[in-house]
Amino acid sequence: MRVEKRPTVWGLRVKQARERLGLSQKSLGINAGLDEFVASARINRYEQGVHKPDEAFSRKIAEILQVPDAFLHAEDDSLALLIAIWGVLPDERRERLTRFAIELSQQPRRGGHHPAPKAPDPEA
């Protein structure tokens, strides 16, 4: 009996980011240091969930795909989008986004108020 593998979150996010950049599986693999004769098949196996990358390879792929490594691991689509946006923002806008998110999180929600964690004190 053959066990079917399902794409992992990591594999789906790699494919999403790779296609956004217009990269082939082969070119992504070669840029990540894989031999050109196995690059396409290896990236395909990662995307399909047949193989799992180690942390160093995941970081290398994220760098090539121009996304934070956390994007590749985000299970929630909205969170993945926020992480991708965060990755392209300059520091000043990251700080503004963080302050805005904290403000939003401290507003009462339906069903009760659940305060968000406090922002770290930059002078501490």
pLDDT digits (tens, 9 = 90+) for 73-111: 999 999 999 999 999 999 999 999 999 999 998 888 776
Q: How many helices (H) and strands (E) does the chain have?
A: 7, 0
The CATH code that applies to domain 9-105 is 1.10.260.40
Task: Give yes or no for residue 37 having a pLDDT over 90.
Answer: yes
Burial of 44 (0-12, 13-18, 19+ CB in 10 A): middle
Report the pLDDT value the prediction gives residue 118, as an integer from 0 to 100. 64
- The whole-angstrom separation of Cα 18 and Cα 31 is 12
**Global pTM?**
0.81
What was the pLDDT predicted at 18?
A: 97
> How confident is the model at residue 108, as a pLDDT?
81
Q: Is the pLDDT of residue 16 over 80?
A: yes
